[in-house]
Structure 1
Amino acid sequence: MMFINSGLLAVAALLSSVWAVPISTQELSDMAAQGYRLLDLSPDTEPVWKTEAEKLDLMRAGIHFFDVTEVYDPTEDNSHATLSALAEKATFPSPSHSSAVTPILNTLSTSNMNSWLSTLTAFNNRYYTSTTGKQASQWIYDTLASITASRSDITVSKFTHSWAQFSVIVHVAGKSSGALTVVGAHEDSINLNSPSSGRAPGADDDGTGTVNLIEVLRALIAAGWQPATPVEFHWYSGEEAGLLGSQAIAQSYKRAGTSVKAFMELDMTGYFQPGTKEVIALEADYEDSGVTKFIQQLVDTYSKLDWAMDEPCGYACSDHASWYKQGYATGMLYEAITGEDNQRIHGTGDLTSVSGFSWAHSLEFAKVALAFVYELSA
């Protein structure tokens, strides 16, 4: 049983509603040391302290949140103002490099993606605090280091956190300087019944997005691609526990003044409900309308599927929200319209063997991701 002194219990009770004053550095340190997590549940309220058990209850209930325990800074404005700060929408020219992009799309391999996903799902789970979660991030790092070994203009780095699993970043230098184009996926998985030790293969969530981006990078490198402006590929730790890795990275980029042209997330790309129309769904909230319009054009140009706008996914539903929160222009692809998506995630049944999982379907998302990278960095 965890010992919690009466003073901290009083603080926790007080902070279960709304703070009248910002959290102090000492309070943040003391509460975190006692095992509490600071959760941002809504753009309209201040964060609240929750125990790990209470946090897990929220996750089981399907309530999205930012876990801001590691990124909350009492000296910064934490008023959520940046969530509505995108007054100027991003604009991009229509896709215009099909003669170069299409031949590379034809080299994308579902066999490669299937092989890599088999390795990822063989880990008991990829939970962000588990030993196997760290091993999975090391495997991703090693795989990317091998793929990029021939290129001196490409670096593979670990973005370490206070927990076991690290995030992985691949930086491809541009021929000239300019704003970054960034694509991301999350590498972790979770079994909501037993997060630390339960079996969580995470084939679709988000093994598919993870291997899509590995294969996109491989295909681009094999084609001798050299972007005019820099590109980054990100694999995030701790998405399932409150967008932990992507928050830390997006915040660090914002603090460094890093210019990002656009960010796009791939979170689940392998499933559509049998009998429904197969589409590429686009998230309808916490996204930039200019990025979403550009993605629509990419789908029209490079995919055999139609795009469809999804219903709003809600507050903090995936890593794109971490970038949006920092004021960056974002978009997100999703495997199907909500309700026609994979219902077997977050447990033992998230496998490629389920009816409705399709590599041909996932391939279309890889095509759009590759075109996104190429067109924006050309």
Structure 2
Amino acid sequence: MIRPVLPTLFLTAWAAIASATPAPDAAAAGPQYIVTSMQTYQGIHAIAPIAQPRRDSLGTPLMLVQADARQQARITHYVHEYEHRCGGYFAFDSLADAEAFLAGEKTAEAIAAPARGAYTIDNQATVDAWLPQVGDLAIYETISHLSSYRNRYYASPYGREAAEWIRDTWLALAGGRADVTAELFTACTNCSTQPSVILTIRGAELPDEVVVVGAHLDSINGQSTNPEQIAPGADDDASGIATITEIIRVAMAGDWRPRRTVKFMGYAAEEVGLRGSTAIARQFASTGVDVVGVLQLDMTNYKAGPVADMKIISDYSNAALKTFLAELFDTYLAPLGLTRGSYACNYGCSDHASWTSAGFPAVMMAEPGDTQAPFFPRLHTTGDTLANMGDSAVNSAKFARLGLAFVGELAKTAAPENDTIFGDDFDTAPTGR
């Protein structure tokens, strides 16, 4: 255990949190453990002082911190209020599980992994037909529904109800196709009663190669652990789930048959330590699933002022996949007059970090925020509503187009069954299909 001396700024920050925000409503659980950066720990030491130093495969100084549910809630609040970002840590329900995570993490490998040969832009026939079909009204309606729940907190009945609604909605968009399945992923030991959602479109030609597009489905209000809290979470992250829903709608309406398997995911319990995505990524790693690329969509609907339309997260992402995402943007969205930027989100900022830590190539594109901060200023409050985002889903529609370009160009499009030109030699064909 170490107890570093804190700068006055951090002590002042914690005093403000403790005095301005009421204690959590739920009883604190027993000992739990989080892994966070040393930088973040300097600010949360007064909240959870029992900690041990660690490093990831990049050599980044980390801290393994003992923190019960109430302390974790306050840590989440600190990261939002004083580091001006989301996430910030991975959470585990035992010391052994946290140590296993650290022992098996492969961040350095994931960041440096070369392109798999799939990062090509040559499937315009599919993608160009999709982009005009994106509609912001359908996205608006999905955000409106998801933010109508009292909350989607991982330990509330509403959190599970929302997950079941997402599963049913996504599956309905598939129109009964035999190659499409939906499931509730429950193999997460610290996700309480909230499952993650996975919709799978089986690849017609390369089914063992997997493309993932994900967003988290839970919501939270400040540092509360009360399952009856008010947390609409319209931007964070109903907007990401709604964006994925629109991607599925457009692709399925055209009877798309991808070459590679595509998995759309709604992650449980992101707001309390990336729990759902970590469980899935670790399971995929342990079972040898061949993931060729992951796209994370966490908050897509807020833009105010003269800022770029979207920003690539520059850190804890695969370098080749970031280049590919930028090329997708420049090919398909820049001609529409959109602009892009980038920013660093730091350690454990969203679910793409779970995939990176497990050794998979992952990337995240996020909303631009405004001139003051790179995200919606009302997240984690009762004010995270559509009304406070211009009562519109126009910004999320941009991300739906990017997501369609991502799956269209990474999963490609299978040759028709009656295609006598390509047949068994499709892999050597010069087109991108």
- For Structure 1 versus Structure 2, the TM-score category normalised by the shorter chain is 0.7 to 0.9
Distance, in Å, in 2 between the alignment partners of 1:231 and 1:94 is 17
Alpha-carbon offset, residue 89 of structure 1:
2.6
Local SS of the residue matching 2:106:
helix
- Give the aligned partner of residue 384 of structure 2: 350
Offset, 1:112: 1.3
Query: Cα offset for 1:277?
Result: 2.4
Tell me which residue corresponds to 2:411.
377
Instruction: Output the CA distance in 1 between the equivalents of 2:215 and 2:291.
Output: 17
Counterpart contact for 1:272–1:340, Cα < 8 Å:
no
Deviation at 1:197, TM superposition (A): 1.9
| 1:310-325 to 2 correspondences below 5 Å | 310=343, 312-325=344-357
Q: Following superposition of structure 1 onto structure 2, how do residues 327-338 of structure 1 map, counting pairs within 5 Å?
A: 327-336=359-368
Residue 158 in 1 paired to residue 175 in 2? Answer: no
Deviates more, 1:171-180 or 1:81-90: 81-90
**Matched AA of 1:54:** Q
Pick closer, same or farther for the CA change 1:210–1:41 going to 2, 3 Å: same
- Asked whether 1:309 is paired with 2:342, we answer yes
**Which residue is 2:270 aligned to?**
239
Q: Which amino acid aligns with 1:36?
A: P
Once residues 164 and 219 of structure 1 are traced to their aligned partners in structure 2, the CA distance between those partners, rounded to angstroms, is 31
- TM-score, length-scaled by structure 2: 0.76
Q: Does the residue aligned with 1:253 lie in a helix, a strand or coil?
A: helix
Return closer, same or farther for 1:77/1:361 CA change in 2, 3 Å cut-off.
Answer: closer
Structure 2 residue 219 is the aligned partner of structure 1 residue 189: yes
Partner of 2:65 in structure 1?
Answer: 48
Question: Residues 119 and 409 of structure 2 are in contact (CA less than 8 Å); yes or no, is this contact kept in structure 1?
Answer: no
Question: How big is each residue's C-alpha offset from its partner over 1:118-170, in whole Å with a ceiling of 9 and x where there is no partner?
Answer: 11111000000001111111111111222224210011011013411110001
Q: Tell me, in whole angstroms, the C-alpha distance in 1 between the residues paired with 2:195 and 2:105.
A: 29
Alignment root-mean-square deviation, CA: 2.2
Which residue of 72, 82, 97 corresponds with 2:106? Answer: 82
Q: How many residue pairs align between the two structures? A: 348
Deviation at 1:198, TM superposition (A): 1.6
Structure 1: distance between partners of 2:389 and 2:266: 27
1:15–1:48 Cα contact (<8 Å) kept: no
- What's 2:234 paired with? 203
Cα gap change, 1:350 to 1:377, in 2 (>3 Å): same
1:173 to 189, 202, 213: 202
Moved over 4 A (4+): 14-17, 74-77, 355-358
* Deviation of the 1:193 alpha carbon: 4.4
Q: Deviations over 1:7-48 (max 9, x none)?
A: xxxxxxx5989xxxxxxxxxxxxxxx9622210113433522
Measured after TM superposition, the shift of residue 321 of structure 1 is 0.1
Cα–Cα, structure 1 residues 358 and 281, in superposed 2: closer, same or farther, change >3 Å?
farther
* Change over 3 Å in CA distance of 1:361–1:355 after alignment to 2: closer
Give the secondary-structure state (helix, strand or coil) at the position aligned to 1:371.
Answer: helix
User: What is the match of residue 51 of structure 2?
Assistant: none
Counterpart CA distance in 1 for 2:94 and 2:210 is 25
Partner of 1:212: 243
The one-letter code of the counterpart of 2:130 is: I
Tell me, in whole angstroms, the C-alpha distance in 2 between the residues paired with 1:363 and 1:72. 42
| Equivalent residue in structure 1 for 2:289, among 252, 258, 262 | 258
Partner of 1:67: 91
Q: Which of the residues 145, 149, 170 maps onto 1:123?
A: 149
Aligned-pair identity in percent equals: 32
Unaligned runs of 5+ in 1: 1-13, 18-32
